[in-house]
Chain A
């Protein structure tokens, strides 16, 4: 079972920041928080991941609370192409066959003009 809880859907106006929350209250000390998104009929796309520090890359920012029980993915300027299902996944560091990704239902983000 997925170890995360996300709202099933969210709307965001084009050009505004999209803030997607995720609860992972049972996260273990060695587990990372990963974010992927899946645009309709495509494979998931990696966005970002982090352990305890906030992270930023060219796609998004990841804010992890100090107790690590929740996080927020921020798309700073959402566009229509960001409409997708966003998955928050916790997973132990795995440089081998362990640490499979377990996908929950995710959040369906709809960016509206």
Chain B
């Protein structure tokens, strides 16, 4: 069974540009969550999508957005990039149904903003 796949693995962008990251969850999982990981702030929750709807949202500015497609694949977009957006962006998939289930993480996308 394939795991969570994130593409691309590495990205270098310039301040002011925008970027789109992709996440393909484990087959059968309908929930996809996104996290930002930085040395200073640790792992911070961005948002969660379930069945194409945003179900939860963290405390990030509107420059960070996402969407989920009918096949559960998800994308996140960051517009007007800032140096502080440099981070490892992790995607996690889970069944997402009622009751707690564990989240499985992808390898992450390392974004560097210069």
Answer yes or no: do A and B interact: no
A residues in contact (CB < 8 Å) with B: none
